[in-house]
Amino acid sequence: MIGKPKIGVSLYSYGANIMMRRMNIKECIEHAASLGAEGIEIVDNRHLPNYPYHSVYDLLEMRDYIESFGMEVACYSVYLSEYVTGIGTTLEGCIEYFRKLIPEAATLGTKIIRGSPMPPKNLGMMDRSWQTNMIKHMWQHVLPDLKKYNVIWGVEIHAPMPPEDFLKIAEEINDEYFGLVPDFSVWQTKGLAGVAGAAPVELLRQCMPYTVHIHAKAHVFDERGEEPNTPYDKLIPIIKEAGFNGYISAEFEGWRLGNFSDSRKMVETHMNLIRKYL
């Protein structure tokens, strides 16, 4: 549908304050609401209470708390990886685990579940053929669950994986319950986290017809509030011109590189940067 992008915040952005125990999850949600965020992105293993033994009541409490501020759960980000789940990364394991998570997304009240199967340790974190084949094999098995719960599977395009691989999958599947989640790391010009993609910005335009959610990645801000390694001035206008009406989710990751500055300031700067080019 044609419309205007909404601005959301990934709770991942508050990683420094959460890790340093300067804020709890509810305080992060409150802060995002105070800045005018319309939606909150949740990462399952980091932000759900009692993970991995959370109950439906935990999910409902999280949903209700977010909605009490006039926001919604913009996306439920989950990991399909032996690094996190301990299930291994066999086809059967990924399918079984993912099918469990789809109704959780529906309980949280979101339409988008971001889940990308990650290669096992012996293949390396970003094995192109393994990941793309796994997605295609999983698709037919999880489609009935996606339809049942009216949830869209969004596969993240994250550097160093090339967008072309995922565009091809999206074109082949061509279904309303499957989409792409472009991550701005694909267009970063300097690899602060070692994964800059430096892809042509026009590739984002090609992704937009299949895009269901967006990760506006940032690692650092300069004195002007710009992310000097990421062309926000080019990427955001492409999203706007495409008539995208989903969420642009502010995802600050600088804390993973040792920047333990107050997350509240980082999130505020980040949201202002997105608004600047909308």
pLDDT of 146-157, one tens digit each?
999 999 999 999
Neighbours of 33 (CB within 10 A): 17
pLDDT of residue 103: 98
More confident residue, 250 or 191: 250
pLDDT interval class at 37 (50, 70, 90): very high
Give the whole-number percent of the chain exceeding pLDDT 70. 90
Over residues 112-125, the mean pLDDT reads: 75
Inform me whether the pLDDT recorded for 9 exceeds 80. Answer: yes
**Residue 183: both structure tokens together:** 């991550």
**Residue 67: both structure tokens together:** 């909605």
Over residues 94-103, the mean pLDDT reads: 92
What is this structure's pTM?
Answer: 0.93
| Cα atoms in the 13 Å half-sphere on the side-chain side of 121 | 6
pLDDT of residue 273: 98
d(CA 159, CA 219): 14
d(CA 254, CA 13): 8
**Residue 275: both structure tokens together:** 């608004």
Residue with tokens 């079984």: 96
Smallest Cα–Cα separation from 36: which of 218, 236, 272, 252?
272
pLDDT interval class at 74 (50, 70, 90): very high
Inform me whether the pLDDT recorded for 164 exceeds 90. Answer: yes
pLDDT of residue 126: 56
pLDDT of residue 132: 85
Mean pLDDT taken over the chain: 91
Inform me whether the pLDDT recorded for 189 exceeds 90. Answer: no
CATH number of 6-277: 3.20.20.150
| Extents of the domains making up the chain | 6-277
Chain mean position to CA 2: 21
pLDDT of residue 82: 54
Burial 100-111 (b: 16+ CB within 10 A, else e): ebbebbbbbbbb
